[in-house]
Amino acid sequence: MMMARAIRLRRHAIQACALAFVWLACGLVARPAAAQQAPTIAAPQAILVDFDSGTVLFERAADTPNFPASVAKMMTMAVVFREIAEGRLTPDSEFKVSEYAWRRGGAPSGGATMFASLNSTIKVGDLLRGAIIPSGNDATIVLAEGIAGNELAFTVKMNEEAKRLGLTNSHFTNSNGLSDPDQKTTARDLSRLAAQIIRGYPDLYKIYSEPDFLWNKIRQNNRNPLLGMSLGADGFMTGYLKESGFNLVGSAVQNDQRLIVVILGAKSEKERAEDARKLLEWGFRSFESRLLFDAGETVGEAVLYGGEQGNVPLTAAGPIRLLEPRNGTERVAARIRYEGPVHAPVEKGAKLARLEIMRGEQVVLEIPLVAAQSVPEGPLWRRAVDGAYELVVGLLREGYAKLAAKLPVKLG
C-alpha cells in the first residue's frame, strides 16, 4: 500500500494537515504578483521540463499515447549509446548494409535516408550521424541488424531499455519510427528519454548538434529547426506520420540552465517549431531555481518495522532543486511515498521512497529517496512490539506519516 508521509516544516512554507487517514504537507508560498502566463500553443500534447531539477514547467496531455514517428530513433540511439559505453561496440565497428535495410529505409524507400549503398560496409560512427542528422531510416536498420541480428530482435532491446529508464507508457516495434499501430510513446516519456541521453552519454549527445552530414557525395542538413533559432538549442529530433502529426523533441541551454521540450501532434512543421520556441523562451524567462535540500540532507523518515530503531532517515542522491515562477503566487505541496512499513534490516543507499512536489494537483517534481544510514534488525522484543502495533493500527488507517522537510524560499 502506497502511503503519503506528512511533512513537518523546519522553516517557511509547509504546514502538516491530515486528510482521510493520509497525511500530506500543505503550504503556501506568497509572491507579490502573478507569474507570467504560459504561452498559447496549438499542439495537443506537450511538455517542458527543467533538466537539472526535473521540474515540469508546462504540460498538456503529457501522458496521452501517440505514434512517435522518427523521434523513435532516440530510443534506438539510447540502446546503441549504451552498447558503446559498456564496451560491446565502438564507433569504428563496421556493419554491412543488407538488402532489407536498403529497400526499407534507403534511397528506394522514398523516406528519410542517409543514402547508404547496398552491400556497403559502414562504421558505427557514420551510421550514428546518418540516423541522427538526416534521420536516416536505413542507418537505424543497419545498426539494429548489426547489434541484434534483425530489427525485431533489436526492438526487444529497445523495450528492455525503455523499461530500465522508466518509460512506462512507451512501446517500440521498429528502430526508425515507421508506421506501426502498436508503436507508441508519450510526451513525458520522451522528455525522460531525452534527459537520460544527455546525462548518460554527453559526448555522443554532441552529434545531435552537428549542422549537416555528407554521405555518398550528398550533403543533408540537420532536421532540427531549433538549432537555427538562437535559443541555445543543441539537440534531438523531429518526426512526422499522417497518424501522429508533426512531432519534435528538443533541448536548449541558456545561462547554465537546460530545458527539454516535447511537442506531439502538431498540424505542420511551422506549428511544431513555433510551439517549441514559445515554450523554451517562456521557460528561460519565467522561472528561477530554488534549493530545497542540500546533497546528503535528511528529507524525511520512513517508518521501520522490526529495526534497532523505529525509523530510517531518507535522503536524495544529490541536491534537490525546484524551478518556481518568478513573481508569482504558488501553492506548493510535498509528500513522500513508499511501500510500508519498511522491514529491517536496511542497508545505507537502498532505494525506499520518492519525494513528490506538487502545484495544485500537478506533480511537478519526483525525486527518488534512499536510506541515509544502515539500520540492523532489532531485538526480539522490538519485533514483537512492532508486529502487534502493525496488526492493530493497520486495521484503522490507510496511511501513516512522519517526515521532515523545508522549503528555503525568500519571500517578496
- State which H helix or E strand residue 313 sits in: strand 311-315
280 close to 287: Cβ distance less than 8 angstroms: no
Strand partners of residue 360: none
Residue 137 in grid coordinates? 531510416
Name 147's Cβ contacts closer than 8 Å, sequence gap at least 6.
Answer: 79, 80, 83, 89, 154, 157
Which residue among 53, 73, 157, 184 is the active-site one? 73
95 close to 127: Cβ distance less than 8 angstroms: yes
330 close to 32: Cβ distance less than 8 angstroms: no
Q: Rounded to the nearest 5 degrees, what angle is found at the Cα of 254, between the Cα atoms of 201 and 240?
A: 60
175 flagged as catalytic: no
Alpha-carbon span 220 to 105, nearest angstrom? 16
> What residue type is assigned to position 149 of the chain?
G
191 flagged as catalytic: no
348 flagged as catalytic: no
Which residue among 70, 191, 251, 286 is the active-site one? 70
Which residue among 53, 98, 135, 251 is the active-site one? 135
Alpha-carbon span 382 to 198, nearest angstrom? 47
Residues marked as catalytic: 70, 73, 135
